[in-house]
Amino acid sequence: MSSMSSEIHEEIRRLTTALIQQQQQDGSWRFCFENGTTIDAYVIILLRTLNIQGNENLVRQLHDRILIEQQPEGSWKLFPDEEEGNLSASVEAYYALLYSGYSRTTDEPMRRAKRFIQTKGGLGKVTSILTKAILAATGHSKWPASISSIPLELLLLPASFPISFFDFSGYSRVHLAPMLIMADRHFSIKTSHAPDLNDLHVDRNDTDEQLPREFHETLDRIQTGLNRLIGTPRYIHEAALTKAEQFILQRIESDGTLYSYASSTILMIFALLALGYDGQHPLIAHAVQGITAMRCSFDGKTTMQNSPSTVWDTALLAYAMQEAGIADDHAAIRSAAAYLLSRQQRKPADWSLHNPNITPGGWGFSETNTINPDVDDTTAALRAIRSLSRTDPSYRDSWNRGLNWVLSMQNDDGGWPAFEKNTNKQMLTWLAIDGAKSAAIDPSEADLTGRALEYLGNFGGFDIRHKFIKNGTDWLINHQEKDGSWYGRWGICYIYGTWAALTGLKAAGISSDHEAMQKGAKWLLSIQNSDGGWGESCRSDRLLYFVPLEESTPSQTAWALDALIAVHSRPTAAMNNGIRTLIGLLRENNRAASYPTGAGLPGNFYIHYHSYRYIWPLLALSHYIRKYEG
């Protein structure tokens, strides 16, 4: 056995031993889903607005975490190499720190933050729609026209109309409905203890939004549909308000959250206040409990997770450990599989509106998520239970339900979406909402399609002789970038998409000699860092072209290696160099190790998955050994 082979085996043993030790009693793994300071700030603002007692320690911890993330020039960033800081994140942080009561305007960090915000144009230049909504809901700005111009009656339009509410993605709907309610009622609530943000209004005239022509065209389409509704304007409006309220109430999870997202739950609470609910109402109290339960502590810091990644992490880790040689009858695998089996969703939900008459069988991202399954989590869970499904009838039924659900979710264009089938009306991306191009719709994506094909090929036994697999591979090949890469929606970014596409195409039966495979592998090698690893900036996600990160990250290095392992029949010198670098990265705990490589909303929301330093390196190392050492 070569020295490098010994190192790989030793690293696999080290990773699997550490994971077994960190597994929870219920079989899950609970790693932090770290997503910047935005949700931390919103939670402080919410708790202070509601004047809720009993969470003072949490407020102080969140305050301290936000403060420690401030940059020297006074800004806050969404990712370390974001140029010039982020105005929306800085406004949120400044507002929350003052509202907490633990910072004052005279403190030097607050003075620096104020200068940064003013030099960037102040509140009127904020772009994040969530930031704008929080500012409007708490009385610091008027409701943006991009929201207030959308009539609440949109919720009454049937699916047969050119635009209806359910044409929006599920993620958009649960955020849009509360905002539409608040904007419709011109709602705001401002307490006597709220900080004064008037100094952040640099130009009073810049609050008048210039809405693009396409936005007005979309509104005209909506109005055309509204003109066909029967009833007096007042009756129709009251019906729409009731519809919006019921839409929210019907999607509250058992932990009190809306769709298991902290962000939509915070908006829901403000919307309920706008509808006349008392601040002490049980629904609001329960929602606050659900949000505060999402806290996560690490390295002496506390942060709020927007949606804990427990199911996702547990599924991927159980699968990775089996790829690393842990038997399916090992207690850790059995326990994880039982946990996953208990989280399979078995009731129709919003996804079935676009995909009717299909037996439920998907998995969601978070533990409390019971009505919002997605393709990526489902294939992850199915990989984890594959071996057990061959011997245990209960897992076999679960496998069959999940497999059929994944197959049913394929879009008509051949690719796979995240949450809902055929939800791709481009007109909705014309809305004057930052991030609408990514959030308003749920189209086929290269990473989702590649991962679905990898599962169906390597675990389902299908290949390009099956028409649905051929359609999926055709979609991927047709969406390859000119340089050979693919864009990945839910990871950063071109490395992530290219890894998913290449491993998916290979599993589906596409030859390594195929032009698309060769171009993809060549592109990955062309962007390899001088240290042997790979790294990509979150800036790629916004600019829509590859932006290198000077440092190599463990997850991105693992993705690149796993893709090259799938393509090459023998390891190359570049690959072996990458393997050595990956092992070295796993033994360090520098800035690159915590760089966010997960994507939520381009330009607004990035994630550092604390689990990723285990999952993807373990898979890459295990696949290297399996393929090249047998």
Residues 6+ apart with CB under 8 A from 538: 78, 79, 81, 82, 492, 493, 596, 599, 606
Whether 376 is catalytic: yes
In DSSP notation, 562-604 reads HHHHHH-SS--HHHHHHHHHHHHHHT--SGGGG---EEEETTT
Residue 599 pairs in a beta bridge with 606
Nearest-Å Rg of the Cα atoms of the chain is 24
CA 508 centroid distance within chain: 26
Q: Which of 328, 376, 413, 442 is catalytic?
A: 376
- 288/563 Cα distance (integer angstroms): 43
CA 527 centroid distance within chain: 25
- 506/487 Cα distance (integer angstroms): 18
Query: Apex CA 31: angle with CA 592 and CA 556, to 5°?
Result: 35
Burial (0-12, 13-18, 19+ Cβ within 10 Å), 558: buried
Nearest Cα to 482, choosing from 513, 453, 512, 520? 520
Q: Is the dihedral of CA 72, 77, 81, 83 positive or negative?
A: negative
Q: Decide if 243 contacts 155 (C-beta within 8 A).
A: yes
What is the Cβ-side half-sphere exposure of residue 58, based on CA atoms within 13 angstroms?
24
Q: Which residue has the tokens 């809720």?
A: 52
Query: Residue 230 has what DSSP assignment?
Result: -
Residues 6+ apart with CB under 8 A from 195: 95, 98, 99, 105
- 229/158 Cα distance (integer angstroms): 10
Catalytic residues: 376
